[in-house]
Structure formats: structure tokens, C-alpha cells
Amino acid sequence: MMWGRHATAPGELRTQRLRRNMKLLFWARALFETKALNAILTLFYLARGITLQEVMILTVVWSVAGFLAEIPTGYVADRMGRVRSLGVGFGFYIVATLVQAFAHEFEWFVVSQVLAAIAYAFLSGADEALLYDTLKELGEEKDAVRHNSQYYASRNVLKGIIPFLGALLATNMLDWQFTLVLVIDAAITAVGLGLLWFIEEPNRYQSEEEREVNIILSSIRFVRTQPWLMRVAANKGLGFVSVLIFWRVYQPILSNVGWTVFALGLFYLVYHGLAYFLRRVTYRWEARFGFVRLANNMFWVPIVSMLLMFFTDNLWLLGALSFITLLSQTLREPLFILQLNRTVASFHRASVLSNFNMVKNIVDIVMTLVAGALVVRYGAFGAVGVAIFMGVVGTTVLRVTPSPTAEPVLK
């Protein structure tokens, strides 16, 4: 089956189809990112016989598989085209979701994680290149930043609603309910796959293979020449992975003190809804208080909230502290993108973002393994302890400092 329309349409009709690409890509990605079990994902793993230590190992499997798949999938994207590459990625993710729906042994969950990581690798870069090439052919590449911002919002638009509905369907945590939710999730992704059929394949102006290789080479040079941004990358990576580890264990913590599946679903819905609206005004806070002050001070919020969780077993207070922990990092994340846009020229941003992701992956693999070892002895709060430790390192040894130079921003 041939995914994506190619450059055979008459000029005016082709232009109309190219302009439709942005909306189609937005909703295709939104349907890809539904993640219907996310509100109770860790509880699902536990119900299927997976331990918290194995949950941590699955996170490491994801990171390693995704890293290894990045360059080969970029090469394939160049050979088969952007839209087909996206189609293959959607296909991998549908299979990964179905494998997870019927998995009960740890090995099959590993298979699911590997397939899902490969799926994301097929999407990574191919979607951005498709968007850029579409704008380039339309002569509107100057608006790429605005369109990219709108496209990234697609990853969050359904993330609160669908997991809430998924939690409602799996409210009794029965095995068949989990399976049903995941099969529905795969079907939703299949609808997104169908939307790709109507995307017009633009002319190619950007080689994904060369882009990936060049980013790696420029990243090596970057490490030697930009120590300040490497500190920022390390701080960002510590913050993200710290709260990611917490996210893996907060559901069983709340469940153990009486939170129901419905309550966890509602928690997830309110969290993503509030995060969506607050992130839209993050730039105003940054403009008023400055990047360095906000990035450093906001890092203390999850540290304090996680630390307080050791001193209470009240279900409402634990829920509030969990909410604050997750929301604080969600609001902190956009600060780094705003800072990059201000201090780094556009032609360097890809390599800078690559370094940020490389640092995050290294921190993720190492600290998640440590957290996995500690949960064996101390349970979920062992992982919370690791998350707090990472936060303390980020706010002391690797706290953000003012930029010594500011590169002019090129649009």
C-alpha cells in the first residue's frame, strides 16, 4: 500500500493538499499519543505480574532501543519517504500496543517496549522534516517555529481525556478490561494511520539521514565548546528523569492509601488540563522573573513535595504532593526551549537539542537502574528517594547559571 500522495497533482490542487498537511499531521500525531492506560499504567504492570524493579528495567529498554534505532530509521525515512516512514512507525506502535494488550510475561513486555521505541524512532525527525519540507515548498518556511509549536501541542491535546476514559473502562482492574482498553488504543492509532493516507508528500529539501549524522558530529564539537549549555542540558536531564522515575511509582503509592482507579483517572485528566493552560503562559513568567531564577527555584518544588511524602500517609495530602511534583516539572520544561530560542542561533538548535536528549538518555539509563535496585529493598519510596537525590544534585552541583554569551537568534 502506498502511503502519502506524491507530486502528481496539478499546481493549485497540490498547493491545497500541501496546506492540509499541517492539520492532518496534527491530528494523526494526536491519535498516536492517546496512551489510554497512562493514568493507571504502573498498576496495569503490577496487575500483570511485573514488579516495580522490572518496570524500571522496561524504561531502560525503551531508552536503549530508541537510541540505537534513531539513525537506521532516519536512513529508511530517506529511502521510502516521510509519509511512509510515519506509516511504518504507526504500524510498529499498533503492534506494540497489541503485544502489550495480551502480554503477561516480562519478556513480552520487553518486546512491546522495543517495538514502541522503534515506532517513535521512525516518527522522530520524519514528522519534523515533513512539516519543514511542506512549508518550504509553500514558501512559508519562515513560519516554521510557529507551526512546530502548534504541532508539538498535538502530543498533549488528548493525553488527559483518553487516559481518563481508559481508567473508567478499567475501573475494576480486571484482565479483560486492560486488554479491551489497549485494543481500543491500538484502534485509535489505526485511525491516525488512516489520516496519513491523505497527506501530500512534499518535495524533499532535507535529508533525514544526513541530518541525524550531522547532528551527532556537531554534538561532539558542541561538548567541547559550550560548557554552559552542557550544564543546562544536565540540569534539564536531571529534572526530567527525576520526575519520570517518580511518575513510574506514584500510582501504586496513591493506590496503597486508598486512591481508586477512577480517582487516578480524574487526577490525570485535571493534571494534563491544568498543565495545558499554564504552559501557554510560561513565556510570561520567564519574561518577568528570568530563566535562571525560575529554572533553579522551580527545581526545589518537586524536591520539597517528594520529601514531604515520607512524612504522611494521608491520601489527600499524598495526592496533592504528587500533583505538585508532576505539574512543576511539566511547567519547568518549556523554560529550556524558550532559553534555547533566545540564546542559540537556529542553525545550531538541532545539535543542542540532540545533546539535551543524549544527556537525558544517559541519566535515564543510569539512574533508572539505581531506582530499580532500591525499589527491591525499599519499595516505591526507594525510587522517590532517588528522584529527590537527583533533584538535590540539580539544584546544587549542576544548578543553572547565567549565559556568559548570547548568540543572536536567527529566524
Query: SS3 sequence, 261-276?
Result: HHHHHHHHHHHHHHHH
Domain 11-206 and domain 215-395 have a common topology: yes
The answer to whether domain 215-395 has CATH 1.10.8.60 is no
Look up residue 289 and give its three cell numbers: 522573573
- What's the pLDDT score for residue 388? 94
Contacts of 214 (CB under 8 A, 6+ apart): 351
Which residue ranges make up each domain of the chain?
A: 11-206, 215-395
Which 8-state DSSP code applies to residue 81? -
Number of H helices, E strands in the chain: 17, 0
pLDDT in tens for each of the 411 residues of the chain? 445 555 555 666 877 787 788 888 889 988 998 999 999 999 999 999 999 999 999 988 988 888 787 667 666 666 777 788 889 999 999 999 999 999 999 999 999 999 998 998 888 767 777 777 777 777 766 666 566 656 666 677 788 899 999 999 999 999 999 999 999 999 999 999 999 889 887 776 555 545 555 555 655 565 566 677 777 778 888 888 899 899 999 999 999 999 999 999 999 999 888 887 777 676 677 677 777 788 888 889 999 999 999 999 999 999 999 999 998 888 787 777 666 656 655 444 544 555 566 667 777 788 888 888 888 888 899 999 999 998 998 888 888 777 665 443 433
Dihedrals phi, psi of 281, to nearest 5 degrees: -115, 10
The CATH code of the domain at 11-206 is: 1.20.1250.20
Helix 261-279, helix 315-343: angle, nearest 10 = 30
**C-alpha–C-alpha distance, residues 318 and 323, integer Å:** 9
Q: Identify which of 202, 333, 318 has the alpha carbon closest to the alpha carbon of residue 275.
A: 333
Dihedrals phi, psi of 5, to nearest 5 degrees: -85, 145
